Structure 1
Amino acid sequence: MRQNPSFAMTDPTELRRVIELNPWATLVSDADDGLVASHYVVLLDDERDDLTVVGHVGRPDDLIHGLGERELMIAFQGPHGYISPGWYGDVAAVPTWNFVSVHLSGVPEILSDEENLRVLERMVDVFESRMPDPRGMWTLPNDEAFVRRLAAGTVGFRLTPTKVVAKRKLSQNKPLETVENVLTQLEGTGAHASAELAAEMRRAHEVRRERQA
């Protein structure tokens, strides 16, 4: 991901927030047969306060990616959307796409069976906790044999990144008046409205205002 100083994200708290809110990630590695990409849920490691993440892949994706043996890049995609040149007013302009992305790279550590089981259990709990009647991984009719048989088909990993590239391209290079026009459109009801993207833009521009104060 090409970086631009105007759009760089460097605050670890902000990076953790984007990762936590967007756990459906893309895993990319340079495999024996060329580039390979997979899609899995990846969570922040709840025992760490840095950018270490944990997740799992289904077999044989561990072999395809060379998990634990070669570099893996994990890409988290936040809110994104189309920005019309008409939103910039009566000036020369072209369309663009605003987005938030975080890329973590490093060689992952393979988890033990018991560590993997704990990560899988936490993943279920994270998402089931939002349900009116949550079903945990160990909730009946699941029994231990069933859970362990499914877990055996996965390989867990922990990745502490050695390289982080994070970017939020949210019209920071535009005048504040233009930004407000874009926000009005995103928060409206038009074809390209996006409340989530607007919220990220407002967050980014609060940081911009603080730096200019």
Structure 2
Amino acid sequence: MRQNPSFTLADVEEIKRLIRENPWATIVSATADGLVASHYPVLVDESREELSLVTHVGRPDEQLHELGQHEILVVIQGAHGYISPGWYDAKPAVPTWNFTAAHLSGVPEILSDEENYRVLGALVDHFESRLPNPRQMEGTPENAEYAQRISAGTVGLRLTPSKIVAKSKLSQNTSRETVDRVIAELEGDGPYASAALAAEMRRVHERMRAAR
């Protein structure tokens, strides 16, 4: 991902927030047999001060990716959407795409069976906690027995990235009036409306204005 100083996202806590709010990740490996990509949910490893991710893959994806033998790339995609030049002003302009994304790369650590099982439980708890009647992995003896049996079909990993490229391209290089118009369009009911992208733009620009 080409970096631009106007859009660089360097705050580790903001990158963690991006991951927490957008946990569905793309994992990419350049293997002996060519490029391989898979998609899995990830969690920030809250037990570590530095940025680390934990997740799992289903067998035989660990073989397809040759996990532990070389770097992997984990792509996190946040809110994004089309921005029409008609939302700017009367001056000539071209359309663009606003987005937030992070690319995290490094050699992953393969987890033990015990730690993998704990990560699986944390993933289930993380997503089930929003439900009125969450179903925990070990909520009943039957669930626990089933989870212990099928966990053997997964391989856990932790990625503490050696390289991070993160970008938050949210009209930071335009005027306040233009930003306000873009947010209004995104909050509207048009074909490119996106409440999530509008909220992200509003949050980022309010922080920028407060810092001035």
Same fold (TM > 0.5): yes
Cα offset for 1:91?
A: 1.3
* Matching residue of 2:201: 201
User: Aligned equivalents of 1:68 and 1:142: distance in 2?
Assistant: 33
User: Aligned equivalents of 1:102 and 1:65: distance in 2?
Assistant: 20
* Percent identity of equivalent pairs: 60
* Matching residue of 2:160: 160
Is contact 2:137-2:144 (8 Å) kept?
no
Cα offset for 1:141?
A: 6.4
* Matching residue of 2:115: 115
* Matching residue of 2:181: 181
User: Aligned equivalents of 2:70 and 2:4: distance in 1?
Assistant: 28
User: Aligned equivalents of 1:167 and 1:143: distance in 2?
Assistant: 41
* Matching residue of 2:70: 70
Aligned AA for 1:11? D
- Relative to structure 1, the CA distance from residue 150 to residue 76 in structure 2 (aligned partners, 3 Å threshold; closer, same or farther) is same
Cα offset for 1:51?
A: 1.1
How big is each residue's C-alpha offset from its partner over 1:138-158, in whole Å with a ceiling of 9 and x where there is no partner? 123634442122100000001
* Matching residue of 1:22: 22
Stretch of structure 1 that moved more, 199-208 or 170-179: 199-208
User: Aligned equivalents of 2:208 and 2:49: distance in 1?
Assistant: 26
User: Aligned equivalents of 1:33 and 1:210: distance in 2?
Assistant: 50
Aligned AA for 1:73? L
Aligned AA for 1:6? S
Is contact 2:45-2:53 (8 Å) kept?
yes
* Matching residue of 1:49: 49
* Matching residue of 2:100: 100
* Matching residue of 1:137: 137
Matched position secondary structure for 2:19: helix
* Matching residue of 1:58: 58
User: Aligned equivalents of 2:202 and 2:14: distance in 1?
Assistant: 14
How big is each residue's C-alpha offset from its partner over 1:80-120, in whole Å with a ceiling of 9 and x where there is no partner? 00101100121111111100001110000000000000000
- When normalised by structure 2's length, the TM-score is 0.96
Aligned AA for 1:110? I
User: Aligned equivalents of 1:180 and 1:144: distance in 2?
Assistant: 51
- Mark the runs of 5 or more structure 1 residues left unpaired by the alignment: none
Cα offset for 1:122?
A: 0.6
Aligned-residue RMSD, C-alpha: 1.2
Aligned AA for 1:57? V
User: Aligned equivalents of 1:140 and 1:167: distance in 2?
Assistant: 43
- Relative to structure 1, the CA distance from residue 143 to residue 201 in structure 2 (aligned partners, 3 Å threshold; closer, same or farther) is closer
Matched position secondary structure for 1:173: coil
User: Aligned equivalents of 1:113 and 1:163: distance in 2?
Assistant: 27
User: Aligned equivalents of 1:192 and 1:141: distance in 2?
Assistant: 48
User: Aligned equivalents of 1:176 and 1:189: distance in 2?
Assistant: 22
Matched position secondary structure for 1:152: helix
- Relative to structure 1, the CA distance from residue 144 to residue 132 in structure 2 (aligned partners, 3 Å threshold; closer, same or farther) is closer
